[in-house]
Amino acid sequence: METQIHMHEDVQGQSTKRLRGKVAVITGGARGIGAATAKTFAENGASVVIADILDELGGSLADSIGGKYIHCNVVNEADVEAAINLALAWKGKIDIMFNNAGIAGPGGSITNLDMQQVKNLFSVNVGGIFHGIKHAAAAMIKARTEGCIICTSSSAAIMGGLGSHPYTSSKEAILGLMKSSACELGVYGIRVNCISPHGVPSDMLVNAYRRILGKEDMQPEEVSKIVGESGSLLRGKCASVEDVAQAALFLASEESRFITAHNLVIDGGYTSANSNMSFIYQ
C-alpha cells in the first residue's frame, strides 16, 4: 500500500511539471527576470541554456539547475546562434526561446540625447531580439518543432512617461517585431508572444531609481513600495521577478497553445485604468 502511495505521488509530481521534456534558451538569464525564469522553467521539467555576459553568475545558476551556460552578447549574432546551437548539441532541439536580454540606456531630454548611445541601446534591445527570433525560428522550422518564442517588452511600450525615450521606443519596436514574426511563423505552429513587466525591482530598475533620485543606497524594497503606492491599481502591491517568470511559464506551456501575437502585460492594471478618478465609484 505504501509503495502504491509513493508511486501515485511520483506520477502526480511528474504531471505537474508543465515543461517536461522541453528545451529552453534564455538570453539575459543570469540574474533578475531571466534568472527567475530559468529556475521556474527547470522546476517545471525543462532543460535550460542560460546565455548572458555575466559568466560567474550565469555559470553558477546553470550548475544549480542542471542546465548549461554560454557567454552571449546578443549584439553579436554569432553569439546568439551559438547559444541555440548549444541547445541543439546538448538535447537535439529547442522548444522555447526567451529573448530577455536588454539594457536601460541613456535618460534625459530628447534635445540632449547622445545618438551613439541610442544606437547602442537599439543594438541590444532590438537587434538582440532579431537575432534570437531569426535563429530560434530557423532551428524550429528545420526540426519541425512547434515551438514558442517569448520576448521581453515593457509597460513603457504601452503608456508614455514610464521610461526614457530610447528605452520606450526600443520596447515598442519589440512589440511590432513580435506581431510580424507571429504572422510569418504561425504556419509552422510556432507561437510568438511578448511579456511586458512593470515596476519589477530588478537590478536594472533599482539602479535607474538610484540614479534618478540620487540615492545610491536605495534598496529593492523601497522601489517596490514606491511602485506599489503609485504605480499599481492593486494598492501596496508590486510585481516580483517571480511573477514575470510565472507569466513566461504560462506562455511557454501547452496551456497557451492557442495564444500567439499577444502581449501579456504584468502591471497590476496600471496601464489600463486611471485610479485617480476612482472617487466616481463611491
- Provide the annotated active-site residues: 167
Residue closest to 251 by CA, chosen among 22, 11, 15, 14: 22
CA–CA separation, 65 and 47 (whole Å) = 9
Environment class of 110 (CB within 10 Å of its CB; exposed 0-12, middle 13-18, buried 19+):
exposed
Residue closest to 15 by CA, chosen among 46, 58, 45, 42: 45
CA–CA separation, 120 and 115 (whole Å) = 9
Q: How many CA within 13 A on the CB side of residue 127?
A: 15
Residue closest to 41 by CA, chosen among 94, 111, 92: 94
Q: Which helix (H) or strand (E) holds 151?
A: strand 148-152
All residues at 6 or more sequence positions from 195 whose CB lies less than 8 Å from its CB, including other chains: 150, 151, 152, 153, 244, 247, 248, 251, 263, 264, 265, 266
Cα dihedral 28, 238, 153, 160, rounded to 10, equals -140
Q: Evaluate whether 87 touches 49 at the Cβ level (below 8 Å).
A: yes
Decide: helix, strand or coil at residue 62. helix
